[in-house]
Amino acid sequence: MHAQHYIGLSRNQQEYRRLFFGVNEIAVKVPSVFKLLIKEVLNPFYIFQLFSVILWSADEYYYYAAAIVFMSVVSIATSLYTIKKQYVMLHDMVAAHSIVRVSVIRANNEIEEAMSTDLVPGDVMVIPSNGTIMPCDAVLVSGTCIVNESMLTGESVPVTKTNLPNPRQGGRGSDSDTVYCTEEHKRHTLFCGTNVIQTRFYSGELVKAVVVRTGFSTAKGQLVRSILYPKPTDFKLYRDAYLFLLCLVAVAGIGFIYSIALSIINKVPAKTIIIESLDIITITVPPALPAAMTAGIVYAQRRLKHIGIFCISPQRINICGQLNLVCFDKTGTLTEDGLDLWGIQRVENKSFLLSEENAYRESLVKSQFVACMATCHSLTKIEGQLSGDPLDLKMFEATGWILEEATEEETSLHNRIMPTVVRPPKQLLPEPTVSSQQDMELYELSQSGYEIGIVRQFPFSSALQRMSVVTRTLGEKRMEAFLKGAPEVVASLCKKDTVPEDFAEVLEDYTKQGFRVIALAHRRLESKLTWHKVQNVSRDHIEANMEFLGLIIMQNKLKPETPGVLEDLRRANIRTVMVTGDNMLTAISVARDCGMIPPEDRVIIADALPPKDGQAAKINWRYADNPTKSSGKATRLEEVEISLEDVSQGEEARQSERYHFAMSGKAFAVITEHFQDLLQKLVLHGTVFARMAPDQKTQLVEVLQSVDYFVGMCGDGANDCGALKRAHGGISLSELEASVASPFTSRTPNISCVPNLIREGRAALITSFCVFKFMALYSIIQYISVTLLYSILSNLGDFQFLFIDIAIILLIVFTMSLNPAWKELVPRRPPSGLISGPLLFSVLTQILVCLGFQTMAFLWVRKQSWWEPWTPLSDTRGDFNQTFCLSSQCACNLSSSSNISLELNETELDDHYIKNYENTTLFYVSSFQYLIVAIVFSKGKPFRQPSYKNWPFVLSACSLYAFLFFILFYPISAIDDFLEIVCVPFQWRLTILLIVFVNAVVCILVETLVLDVVLWKLVFSRDKQGSYASGPAAPTAQGSIDLWGCGCVSWPCCRQKRVPKARYMHLAQELSVDPDWPPKPKTTTEAKPPPPSAPPAGQPPPPTRPENGSYRIIAAS
């Protein structure tokens, strides 16, 4: 990088590369409203609605057509607004750094101003001293930058970026052969979209960076691409909805052919045949279905907003009702953002002293331990405030020391060895004493105080797991090196005689308790090392032969809500997984503390190693610790049985020792590449995934989805963006960049939003089922009515249709969706699709009941002794009055001559033969049937609040019942004329009431008694032997079988032993009988090498354990 790219590019080179790499721009084009409108309107539902509206207009059915057009316009406008808003948000997030002016150094050492869109890889740009937002990925080759990388890491803490080491200035031990790699040299790389707060330069030298990636190839570009083009999330409900509609279309096809045949036989005019035949299709497939389905989601979105959860992808709310596994980030999500200093444990004479609470003491002020705490960090001052890594900040604040940096003017006048100085507060320093031999100069120095200058800093490297500094104490001639880092790494760099013998035991004790432990070391450097030589010495030369100083113990506290929420999820049989960038043992400890891993469960760590020196990739298995409640050894694991977290069956989990897998990001990468067959088995019980990179988090979500888990993800940083977008339900605890990618954003900065989201998702999903079932029944009931009336060349009147479609259906649909979510999570999930045995049984039985009662009413009315083809004179005939009037009052009173002549005129104009006894009877019966099925399908517990708490629904249903009873028993001529219903005898009105009452009783009995109780006991008790659930599942009569009978088949199809549908259940079934699972401690699983050549004649093949897929298990070491 220094040798080939330091001088910059000539203009010709730059133009050539621009042709190759393209413009440096992350272009997020906001589509025009017209384009979005066309895309939205081309939805099959809206095309069908357009067809329906045209047909109704041709049939002069304008009112309902206008209502559907109004609902469609509102629905399309809302959808367009949401989509447009998302595009604008994403565009604004990217536009901040898309086009800025930059200074570029050309090959002739000239500096020219250019637009950031003209940058190409190889350009050398000057980072301005007042900072900028990076328009590309670039590597620092000179100077230092302080950068806010919250866009990438989720941490708003500024980090210091140093220049890439120049091998030409180093010694032999320098990184002369190292090729620049973004991952390895993160500390020297400025990423696109990150905010450079300030820069530092020395001796007039500019802060320069070489452009390495532009456009969508940058870190920001890859993030934006993952947001713009996520992998589609499939959901069974929407697939089944289309399948169900196809079934309705098939039913409509039958009615279509029937109406055409009937009309031809009766010689109906061609125009009427076409309109009425097509009309039966619009009756069977309800055009209002999209609006009805959307209503429940809109209400759920409003309830989520009320509890502080904002949603930019409303369709995901239903999917959240299916979540059975949730991945959590650790820092800032399960635990507090910052670290607290719990204590220190110093080492003297090769042994640990007792732990101490803090280092702020006069007796320690000049100790090497405190000097290391005060100097070995990457802190800097921004506008007078200390900024940097939270751990460094807490460690430095614990000393009480003061940090002073050289000003910008000082650094520009001096060379790069102008040090940062730290000094203790004066109150901690002892009074200086002057001896007779002390010369004046040293006396003045001692009077000026005790201070340490940081001469050189080797920044923290995640690959090396350490950082170090070279310092010089005021008045001292020799320099000193201080080192801090992972305890195992620091101990390996120290002299053996300075590391306590019980080091491993003390360290393990702290890590098991969930503390984050940092080790410190010190070394006095050779006197020949001058300030100038130190600037070019290699890191390896400094970080060797150190003296071990002790341990700093940091505590990352759990958020107070975390344990309770995880317990609620556990009781609801929802798996929880930790995905973190932190240390493995710390993550395991936090998982135990918060209840994610119960105390009695074992943790098996999978250490995967990539292929090396001709050896195949392998996994070493070891136990993290011994469970607190388990007295047995590892051999007990031979009889471990896997218990699944799914909840669709009702078997109590057998008592067995449970286990959890833990692995690091490196191990995950090796297993993903070399152990594909093993990966799905591991994630079945993988609970802790540590040191995971952002893209690995996304990969983990995809692997979990590949075994049919419904995965939720909860994180708080932009590093979680990919996983948040990919998961079925991603919820961000941050309102920064993560909220752009995440479907849900919580204002509450803790995980209590997760169960709330799942509860609302379940309620919305059940509401969708209720609405879909109700709309299906509404279509079929109306289809039955129209088909029966077609047989006598009649139909429902326009205002009858209007009353049913608007006053009953729309009012009920928009109020039955208002049931709030149940107050707690239950250990079951709703079904994921409409095509399930119980749900189909529910719909089909209700259809048969409604068909039976409508047909009975239709035939019964024609069997009445008073029945005859209706005419306007039927209401006023004397024999009718004498025979059917009760208490000297007739059921109807339409005897005036003006009314008779009016009715005669209307009858002459009535081409559709609307007014008749059959029409009136079916209108009353079907109107009551709509309300009956609405109440029957509007279920409450265990996923929604009971319907009686939904007062708009109760009020609507009661009002409609009251109105129907009123017009049934107290007819008013104006209403009868408007609805085109005719006068029927009072006794027949009582008969209609009886039919409706018996219909209601049968519907309720079928839905509650037969479906909830009888079939529950018969079908589910038989299926218990084939069940794979992990939690207790006591049946309740209150909850419908169709709510949690996912995958269950109806009675005739039930079997004693069923093959599980979910892939993870199938895997668990296989592993429960595998004697080699889980892996034993101290065994190794090796990737299967290429097929070996046959052994020589007479020699047996080498002994190995049984092979499985792409790996084999080697006997215990």
d(CA 632, CA 638): 12
**Residue owning tokens 């008790």:** 1021
Q: Which amino acid is at 212?
A: V
d(CA 955, CA 944): 18
Yes or no: say if 531 and 476 are a contact pair by the CB < 8 Å rule. Answer: no
Query: Is 329 part of the annotated catalytic residue set?
Result: yes
Helix (H, G, I), strand (E, B) or coil at 840: helix
Q: Phi, psi (5° rounding) for residue 421?
A: -115, 140
Pairing mode of beta strands 1084-1087, 618-623: antiparallel
Choose, from 123, 137, 329, 601, the residue flagged as catalytic: 329
Helix (H) or strand (E) holding 904: helix 897-909
Rounded to 5°, angle at Cα 75 from 724 and 957: 105
d(CA 926, CA 924): 6
User: Of the candidates 95, 125, 261, which has an alpha carbon nearest to the alpha carbon of residue 190?
Assistant: 125
Burial class (CB in 10 A: 0-12, 13-18, 19+), 330: buried
d(CA 251, CA 259): 12
Name the β-bridge partners of 821: 944
Residue 1077: both structure tokens together: 């699972």
Yes or no: say if 395 and 341 are a contact pair by the CB < 8 Å rule. Answer: yes
d(CA 320, CA 730): 9
Question: What DSSP character marks residue 1089?
Answer: P
Helix (H, G, I), strand (E, B) or coil at 745: strand
Yes or no: say if 28 and 94 are a contact pair by the CB < 8 Å rule. Answer: yes
Yes or no: say if 805 and 64 are a contact pair by the CB < 8 Å rule. Answer: yes
**Distance from first CA to last CA of the chain, Å, rounded?**
46
Helix (H, G, I), strand (E, B) or coil at 339: coil
Q: What is the distance, to the nearest Å, from the Cα of residue 1104 to the centroid of all Cα atoms in its chain? A: 43
**Helices marked H in 742-836:** 753-790, 798-802, 811-816
Pairing mode of beta strands 452-461, 602-609: unpaired
d(CA 1016, CA 1003): 17
Burial class (CB in 10 A: 0-12, 13-18, 19+), 527: exposed
**Residue owning tokens 């190693």:** 609
Rg over CA atoms, the chain: 38
d(CA 435, CA 968): 116
- How far, in Å, are 238, 275, 290 from residue 245 at the CA level? 11, 21, 12
Helix (H) or strand (E) holding 662: strand 659-664
Residue 488: both structure tokens together: 């195992």
- Phi-psi bin for 893: left (phi > 0), alpha (psi -120 to 50), beta? beta
**Helices marked H in 336-478:** 368-375, 390-399, 408-413, 440-448
d(CA 136, CA 197): 16
Residues 6+ apart with CB under 8 A from 388: 157, 158, 159, 160, 377, 378, 379, 380
- How far, in Å, are 582, 603, 613, 660, 692 from residue 625 at the CA level? 19, 7, 32, 12, 22
d(CA 249, CA 285): 7
Longest distance between any two alpha carbons in the chain, whole Å = 142
Question: Catalytic positions, please?
Answer: 329
